[in-house]
């Protein structure tokens, strides 16, 4: 099985572990991620100004490229997923906008490409995943952190219930870990405020991490490289403000999956985690 | 231009950029109640909207609210009137930025942080805070 794949810029730089562990996981289930031949940055954070059509150009070019290869494209980064899917929604709903942009580009796009997140793919291929599991995760307690961009706006993304989603927990359950109750799982991590108002980001992340820990989580899993960064890298700063705070490791969903599928350690990208997950993985006999 | 007209025009521009009808909001405050960043804002989301309704252009433009909005869309999910609040916040930001009043200077960002952060943190911030 070959699947069309759009990694996005961050998976080539700061989020390499997401890229490597996802590739390795798909290989382990007998599929191949077929990266689009030429791709560009999606533009990041979808524009909310209705009169800004420029920002639809990059997504349209990516979708046109993907359309040439397959009817669906897998997109693991939450920001790329949100941007491509929201742009796709407009291009599908508003033929006038689609025409205007198509007219100015060499490519031509018909609005019919499907943007799919790996968690949706796993939901639809449960038996396949189950049959390839090699390592018992022994019920390691994980908090599933959705953040914003996989879920909202629901009308356009149709990913899951925006207030109480379950797709991530079902995935974690499927691969042998235990999802803990995590009431703040859909709250924002501070996103790009980390650049300009780090104190605000630090405070919301602290609240999130405490909420996960208070419910017994031993680690947190996420799909977004920006959430990942805020949850992981800001812990150092949190410790300076809140002396009692204890670190908690953060994983990409693909790293946990790769472990369960028996992927060799060098393809897990664990050395890039700022908060080391080594202890918890050893405790569960996973390293 | 006459000040009253100019302020009317401001509210109309915000409605145009956001594609929202500002009078749809009935000021229940639910957006502010659920906003993770309301406590950092001098003027919280529902008040930004009230100021736009009242055509208080100067007050809207002086408010920090739109700059603390992370476009998380929680309020958009919960508004009982279907108001897309983050679009209104974006419209205010865009109004500033198109008038070339960006809020961050790339040269002032900590170099070490810049090298450490994922590019999409920086690109997202630049797209919201610079012109
Ligand atoms: S939730 Fe909606 S109706 Fe209520 S104050 Fe906010 S924008 Fe207005
Ligand atoms: S979208 Fe903006 S205003 Fe609305 S809840 Fe999120 S941060 Fe607050």
Asked if A190 is an interface residue toward chain B (Cβ–Cβ < 8 A), one would say: yes
- pLDDT < 70 stretches in chain B: 1, 101-102
What's the whole-number average pLDDT of chain A? 96
The mean predicted confidence, pLDDT, of chain B is 92
Strands across the sheet with A219-222, in order?
A: A178-179, A141-144, A219-222, A250-252
Q: Which residue of A has its CA nearest to B121?
A: A192
pLDDT for A68 equals 86
| φ, ψ dihedrals at A143, nearest 5° | -100, 125
Spell out the domain ranges in chain A.
2-118, 128-283
The residues pairing with A222 across neighbouring beta strands, listed in sequence order, are: A252
Which of A10, A45, A50 minimises the CB distance to B18? A50
B3-99 has which fold?
Fumarate Reductase Iron-sulfur Protein; Chain B, domain 2 (1.10.1060)
Listed by start position, the domains of chain B span 3-99, 101-131
- The interface pTM score, or ipTM, of the predicted complex is 0.92
Span A221-245, pLDDT tens digits: 999 999 999 999 999 999 999 999 9
C-beta neighbour count of A194 within 10 angstroms? 27
Q: What are the pLDDT digits (tens) for A49-88?
A: 998 888 999 999 999 999 988 999 999 999 999 999 999 9
Look at residues B25, B56, B31, B62 and name the one whose alpha carbon lies nearest to residue B44: B31
Residues shown for chain A:
287
Enter the pTM of the model: 0.93
Taking residues A94-122, report their average pLDDT: 93
Q: What's the mean pLDDT in A74-103? A: 95
Name which CATH class applies to A128-283: alpha beta
* A95-99, A248-252, B118-122: range with lowest mean pLDDT: B118-122
- Please indicate whether, in this complex, the C-beta atoms of B72 and A152 are within 8 angstroms of each other: yes
pLDDT of residue A218: 98
B45 lines ligand 2 (CB under 6 A): yes
What is the share, in percent, of chain A residues with pLDDT greater than 70?
100
* pLDDT at residue B119 in the model: 84
Contact B70 A188 (CB under 8 A): yes
Question: Does CATH place domain A2-118 in 1.20.120.1200?
Answer: no
Q: How far apart are CA A238 and CA A259, in angstroms?
A: 29
CA distance B13 to A97: 21
- Can you say whether the dihedral through the CA atoms of A158, A159, A162, A166 is positive or negative? positive
As given in the structure block, the two tokens for residue B26 are 């009935």
- Least confident segment among A102-106, A107-111, A148-152, B88-92: A102-106
* pLDDT greater than 90 at residue A254: yes
Give me the residues paired with residue A184 across strands. none
Where does the pLDDT of residue A158 fall: very low under 50, low under 70, confident under 90, or very high at 90 and above? Answer: very high
Interchain proximity A226–B86, CB inside 8 Å: no
Report the run of H or E that residue A257 belongs to, with start and end.
Answer: helix A253-260
d(CA A158, CA A116): 11
Counting from 1 in the atom list of ligand 2, the atom nearest the Cα of B45 is: 3
B75 contacts B45 by C-beta, under 8 angstroms: yes
């Amino acid at each position: 099985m070959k699947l069309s794949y759009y990694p996005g810029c961050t998976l080539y730089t700061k989020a390499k572990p997401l890229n490597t562990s996802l590739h390795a996981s798909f290989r382990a289930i007998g599929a191949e991620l077929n990266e689009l031949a030429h791709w560009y940055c999606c533009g990041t954070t979808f524009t909310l100004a209705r009169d800004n059509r420029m920002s639809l150009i990059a997504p349209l070019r990516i979708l046109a490229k993907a359309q040439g290869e397959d009817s669906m494209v897998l997109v693991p980064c939450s920001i790329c997923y949100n941007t491509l899917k929201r742009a796709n929604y407009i291009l599908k709903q508003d033929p006038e906008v689609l025409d205007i942009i198509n007219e100015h580009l060499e490519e031509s796009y018909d609005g019919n490409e499907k943007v799919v997140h790996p968690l949706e793919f796993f939901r639809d291929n449960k038996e396949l995943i189950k049959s390839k599991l090699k390592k018992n995760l022994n019920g390691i307690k994980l908090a599933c952190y959705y953040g914003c961009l996989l879920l909202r706006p629901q009308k356009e993304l149709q990913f899951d219930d925006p207030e109480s989603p379950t797709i991530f927990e079902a995935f974690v359950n499927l691969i042998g870990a235990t999802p803990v109750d995590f009431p703040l799982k859909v709250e924002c991590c501070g996103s790009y405020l980390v650049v300009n108002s780090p104190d605000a980001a630090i405070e919301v992340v602290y609240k999130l991490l405490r909420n996960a820990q208070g419910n017994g989580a031993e680690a947190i899993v996420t799909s977004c490289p920006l959430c990942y960064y805020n949850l992981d890298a800001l812990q150092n700063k949190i410790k300076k403000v809140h002396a009692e705070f204890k670190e908690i490791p953060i994983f990409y969903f693909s790293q946990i999956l790769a472990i369960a599928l028996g992927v060799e350690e060098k393809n897990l990208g664990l050395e890039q985690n700022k908060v080391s997950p080594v202890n918890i993985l050893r405790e569960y006999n996973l390293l | 231009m006459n000040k009253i007209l100019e302020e009317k025009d401001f509210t109309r521009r915000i409605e145009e950029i956001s594609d929202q009808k500002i009078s749809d909001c009935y000021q229940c405050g639910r957006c502010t109640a659920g906003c993770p960043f309301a406590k950092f804002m001098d003027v919280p989301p529902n008040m930004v909207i009230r100021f736009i309704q009242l055509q208080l252009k100067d007050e809207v433009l002086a408010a920090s609210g739109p700059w603390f909005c992370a476009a998380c869309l929680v309020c958009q999910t919960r508004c009982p009137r279907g108001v897309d609040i983050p679009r209104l916040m974006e419209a205010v930001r865009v109004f500033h930025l198109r008038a070339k009043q960006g809020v961050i200077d790339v040269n002032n960002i900590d170099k070490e942080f810049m090298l450490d952060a994922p590019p999409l943190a920086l690109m997202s911030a630049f797209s919201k805070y610079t012109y």
